[in-house]
C-alpha cells in the first residue's frame, strides 16, 4: 500500500465531512433533567407553555417583516422603520424564549412548518393589505401573545418556576405592551394639519 504524502493527509483532514446523518439524540416531547432545582414535572409544563409562546412570537415577528416589506401610503417611511424595529425586538424575544426552553431541558420549536402548525395567530394573506388592516392584524397578534403569556406567567409563578415567570413578565409582556402602545397610536383618528 502506498503511503500518503503529508500534504495529502492534511488536505484530507481539511475536507468537510458533509452529508452526515444520525438519529435525534433528544425527541421534541422529551425533557431531560437539568440541575436547576426545579422538578421535572414543572420543567416539562413550562417547556410546553413556552413552546406555544415561542410559536406565536415567531409568527408575530414574521408578520412584522411581512408588513415592513409590504407597507404603503403616506406613512410608509415611519411604519417601514417601526415594523423593522419591532421585528428585531421580537427576534430577540424568540431567542430568549428558545434559550429558556433549552435551559429547562426541553427542545424549542425552530422550523417554519412546526411554527405554522402550532401558532394560534391567524394566518395573514400573501398579498398586501392597507395600513389600518396591517396594524389591526398586528394588534390582534399581540393580544393573543399577551393573553397566553399572562396566564402562563401566573402558572409558572404558582409552580415556583421563577426563571420562566421572570422571562415572561419582564421581557415578553413588557416588550409586547410597549409595541402595542406604539402601534395603537397609528390608529387614533386625529387631524394632521388643522384641529377640529
Question: Nearest CA to 71 among 157, 161, 11, 131?
Answer: 131
Q: How far apart are the first and last CA of the chain?
A: 95
Predicted local distance difference test score (pLDDT) of residue 5 = 65
Residue 192, domain member (yes or no): no
| Calpha distance 166→172 (Å, rounded) | 9
The CATH number linked to 138 is: 1.20.1260.10
Predicted pLDDT at 195? 85
Per the domain annotation, does 96 fall within a domain?
yes
- Segment-wise mean pLDDT, segments of 10 residues, the chain, 196 residues: 69 86 92 96 98 98 98 96 98 98 98 97 97 97 98 98 98 98 94 82
Instruction: Please say whether the beta carbons of 46 and 156 come within 8 A.
Output: yes
Burial class (CB in 10 A: 0-12, 13-18, 19+), 120: middle
Residue 68, C-beta contacts closer than 8 angstroms, at least 6 positions apart? 80, 83, 84, 87
What is residue 192's predicted lDDT score, i.e. its pLDDT?
77
Q: What is the CA radius of gyration of the chain?
A: 22
pLDDT of residue 113: 97
Kindly state whether residue 128 falls inside one of the protein's structural domains. yes
The boundaries of the domain holding residue 152 are 38-187
- CB burial of 59-69 (b: ≥16 within 10 Å; e: otherwise) equals bbbbbbbbbbe
Please write down the long-range contacts of 174-177, taking CB distance under 8 Å and 24 or more positions apart: 175/89, 175/90, 175/93, 176/142, 176/145, 176/146, 176/149, 177/146
Cβ–Cβ < 8 Å for 54, 112: no
172 belongs to a structural domain: yes
Residue 156 C-beta-side C-alpha neighbours within 13 Å: 24
Residue 88: inside a domain: yes
In a domain, 23, yes or no: no
Would 31 be classed as within a structural domain? no
**Residue 193 is assigned to a structural domain of this protein:** no
Q: pLDDT value at position 15?
A: 85
The number of distinct structural domains making up the chain is 1
pLDDT, position 11: 82
Amino acid at each position: 500500500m502506498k503511503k500518503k504524502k503529508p500534504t495529502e493527509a492534511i488536505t484530507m483532514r481539511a475536507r468537510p465531512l458533509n452529508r452526515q446523518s444520525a438519529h435525534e439524540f433528544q425527541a421534541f416531547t422529551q425533557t431531560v433533567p437539568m440541575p436547576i432545582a426545579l422538578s421535572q414535572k414543572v420543567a416539562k409544563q413550562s417547556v410546553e407553555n413556552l413552546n406555544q409562546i415561542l410559536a406565536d412570537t415567531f409568527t408575530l415577528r414574521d408578520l412584522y417583516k411581512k408588513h415592513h416589506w409590504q407597507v404603503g401610503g403616506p406613512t410608509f417611511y415611519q411604519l417601514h422603520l417601526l415594523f423593522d424595529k419591532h421585528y428585531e425586538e421580537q427576534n430577540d424575544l424568540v431567542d430568549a424564549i428558545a434559550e429558556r426552553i433549552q435551559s429547562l431541558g426541553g427542545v424549542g420549536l425552530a422550523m417554519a412548518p412546526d411554527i405554522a402548525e402550532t401558532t394560534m395567530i391567524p394566518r395573514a394573506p400573501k398579498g398586501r393589505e392597507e395600513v389600518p388592516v396591517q396594524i389591526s392584524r398586528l394588534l390582534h397578534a399581540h393580544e393573543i401573545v399577551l393573553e397566553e403569556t399572562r396566564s402562563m406567567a401566573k402558572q409558572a409563578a404558582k409552580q415556583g418556576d421563577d426563571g420562566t415567570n421572570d422571562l415572561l413578565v419582564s421581557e415578553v409582556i413588557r416588550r409586547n405592551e410597549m409595541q402595542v402602545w406604539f402601534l395603537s397610536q397609528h390608529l387614533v383618528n386625529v387631524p394632521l394639519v388643522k384641529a377640529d
